[in-house]
Amino acid sequence: MTKEDSNRILLAHGGGGRLMEQLIRQTILPRLGDQGGQLKDSADLELDSSRICFTTDSYVVKPLFFSGGDIGKLAVCGTINDLAVAGSKPIAIALSLIIETGFEIALLEKILDSAAQAARQNGVKIVTGDTKTVEAGAADGLYINTAGVGIRCYDTKLGFDKIADGDKIIISGTIGDHGMTIMSQREGIKFETPLVSDCGSLWPLTDQLLTNCRGIKFMRDPTRGGLAATLNEIAEAANLSIDINEADIPVNPTVQAAADMLGFDVLNIANEGKVVIVVSPDKAQQCLSVCKKHQMGKDASIIGEVHRAEQALVEMKTRIGGARIVQMPYGTELPRIC
Amino acid sequence: MTKEDSNRILLAHGGGGRLMEQLIRQTILPRLGDQGGQLKDSADLELDSSRICFTTDSYVVKPLFFSGGDIGKLAVCGTINDLAVAGSKPIAIALSLIIETGFEIALLEKILDSAAQAARQNGVKIVTGDTKTVEAGAADGLYINTAGVGIRCYDTKLGFDKIADGDKIIISGTIGDHGMTIMSQREGIKFETPLVSDCGSLWPLTDQLLTNCRGIKFMRDPTRGGLAATLNEIAEAANLSIDINEADIPVNPTVQAAADMLGFDVLNIANEGKVVIVVSPDKAQQCLSVCKKHQMGKDASIIGEVHRAEQALVEMKTRIGGARIVQMPYGTELPRIC
């Protein structure tokens, strides 16, 4: 092995032998390991409840490093967010790597540090993992899968079936930041005010919300497909219509400029640190003020409401007074955003 | 979209929009969906215990279809096995797909059917999932990640720390079948007696063992790195030596022929349906007979024992009466075996 080789991932790092053990012991364990320094094939957990929430997501974001985060932070926060918006407290994460031969170990270390930091900041442990290697060209650098286990420790029951006529829709902040950051970076476009992904953990905010607010019916993080996809999913599943006001939807002006320039509808753009909340009308203001007190929800806004209608549609009152149907995006716009 | 396109995965299938919803609703849900036909971002589970086991594995096996299984069966059984050998009862699986653009939907369907069947046969539910798409050439067809949750419902406590001087080592059947099947298929080598992977679930066997045998100290499925890696891990972690007898290790003759022809040591070759059991000497015969009654353990054999020594080594008495150290494989031999 030449010196150059020793700085890079080899196929042999996934072989289950001495070299994989070294990678795990020297590179992965010091960063992700549990307090005991262990990261076994499986982890035994003693939870405070037998009512758990279980989720998984693979991450194929391109580029691996972006303004506001990287694939490591994204993978951990994304899985935390899936648990959080389902009304759970995130407890444990399993992290699995598919690494291409030739990938720089220094980059892997940065990514693992960033995953570990995101987990630590949320009181979540990375308890088990897996490492696979593939030939050069067979994984575009690195893919990460994170699976997560949380416990359902709140009284509030969430679900599409809880949503009723008159419920208000809240978004926890500006939309489109993650997707437009990734796309602008990929296209090599720079703005005076730099774009920054909103990639971050929603759990501290959802914890505040579920602890201090009654009346929350449903939460969802509008990732791929953006706000448009999430609202359409809600309308369809609840069989109710949703009316939103464009003027009430917070959008960072640079994000809007980037979307206009690249020809995207900001409603369709992925977010990685935002939550859509459906809440009963009498609790909407309280819920909004809980959001606004929190860093992750400081730009929160009530953007519309749910109502009975013949067809379950999402309709938007535009800034200039018109109205348009917000459709479920078809799906072609933004590859490899998360 | 041309007709040809409609039979293949597009980047847009991962976009979070209508097309992804269609793929999930038409292709994935009918195969993997829970009884309710749901496969959400996260799954709420009511377990019988708050003592859980949590694991993850990514699968990058090449080719995707092989004699005895495919990546779908392998992914589900592999995760079941990780839970089973840790002394848990597998309950739920999260299945995540990374699919390359252009991948045939018919092949995806076959793979999902096979994953679903493996889950069903083991009483395990696939409860949540994720679908990502990447450009042609960025994932070599398809990668699957499975994460699993099991409950710890047996009295026996397993661990390296339970292993003691005099304990016996059992292997549940012939070694090297999976790895040699994959390698022969990849090299295009055919034998009169065809090679078949041992890819399968160990859970029914470990359930029998943990229910009916006392004295089991440790179990591990010898996957990547084969029996050599597993025995070396045990010796190192328990700080004890292991002596094995080559003559007692069951090997399918065709597997041995393939290994000899391709220049592999069968001890280093991956298995996907075998378990190494460390058991106290007084219970070893009972444990062996429980194995032998079961289809997955019919060729089980006591292959050696653990003993105190100055250095924690694995030593093998060869068929011709010599002795050799069985080293931890370095790691280069078999890429993309699982």
* Residues of chain B numbered 204-243 and touching chain A (CB < 8 Å): 223-226, 229
Across the beta sheet with A89-100, the strand order is A125-134, A89-100, A142-151, A51-59, B42-46
Q: In 3-state terms, what secondary structure has residue A69?
A: strand
Among the partner residues A10, A56, A137, nearest to B147 by beta-carbon distance: A56
- Could you tell me how many CB contacts below 8 A there are between chain A and chain B? 261
In tens, the pLDDT along B165-179 reads: 999 999 999 999 999
Chain B touched by A137 (CB under 8 Å): yes
With CB atoms and an 8 Å threshold, state whether A19 touches B88.
no
- Give first-to-last CA distance, chain A, whole Å: 34
Q: What is the DSSP string of A102-145?
A: T-BHHHHHHHHHHHHHHHHHTT-EEEEEEEEEE-TTSSSSEEEE
Q: What is the crossing angle of helices A105-121 and A71-85, to 10°?
A: 30
Label residue B236 by pLDDT band (50, 70, 90). Answer: very high
Whether pLDDT at B39 is above 80: no
Which residue, among B58, B231, B275, would best test binding to A if mutated, counting the most A CBs under 10 Å from its CB?
Answer: B58
Q: Is A152 on the interface with B (CB under 8 A)?
A: yes
Spatial CA neighbour of A17 closest among B318, B335, B201 = B335
HEC string for B105-122: HHHHHHHHHHHHHHHHHC
Give bridge partners of residue B54 from the DSSP assignment. Answer: A43, B149
Nearest to A58, CA basis, from B131, B17, B75, B76: B131
Nearest to A54 among B57, B127, B226 (CB): B127
The reply to whether B56 touches chain A by the CB within 8 Å rule is: yes
Measured between CA atoms, the residue of chain B closest to residue A221 is B41
The 10 Å Cβ neighbour count of residue A90 is 30
Looking at every residue in chain B, the average pLDDT score rounds to 94
Residues B74-119: pLDDT tens digits?
999 999 999 999 999 999 999 999 999 999 999 999 999 999 999 9
Count CA atoms within 13 Å of residue A233 on its CB side: 27
Report whether B24 contacts B32 (CB < 8 A). no
User: By C-alpha distance, which of B96, B109, B114 is closest to B58?
Assistant: B96
To probe the interface with B, which of A11, A25, A44, A47 has the most B CB atoms within 10 Å? Answer: A44
- Rounded Cα distance between B149 and B56, Å, is 9
Is the pLDDT reported for residue B218 higher than 70? yes
8 Å CB contact of B16 and A224: yes
Any A CB within 8 A of B126 CB: no
The verdict on a CB contact (< 8 Å) between A18 and B328 is yes
* Contact (CB, 8 A) for A72 and A107: no
How many other CB atoms are there within 10 angstroms of residue B152's CB atom?
A: 21
A residues 74..113 contacting B (CB < 8 A) = 82-83, 86, 88, 92, 94-98
Q: How far is CA B158 from CA A188, B43, B153, in A?
A: 54, 29, 12
pLDDT digits (tens, 9 = 90+) for A11-63: 999 988 889 989 998 999 999 876 445 667 899 999 999 999 999 999 999 99
* pLDDT number for residue A4: 62
> Which of A53, A92, A138 faces B140 most closely, judged by CB atoms?
A138
Neighboring chain B residues of A333 at a CB cutoff of 8 Å:
15, 17
- Token pair for B64: 């995707």
Low-confidence ranges of chain A (pLDDT < 50): 35-36
Helix (H/G/I), strand (E/B), else coil: B160: helix
Please answer yes or no on whether A44 and B53 come within 8 Å at the CB atom.
yes
Residue B54, min C-alpha distance to chain A (Å): 5
Among A19, A43, A336, select the one facing B330 at the smallest CB separation.
A19
pLDDT at B335: 84
> Which residue of A lies nearest to B129 if distances are taken between CA atoms?
A56
Q: Which residues of B are less than 8 Å from A230 in CB distance?
A: none
pLDDT of res. A40? 78
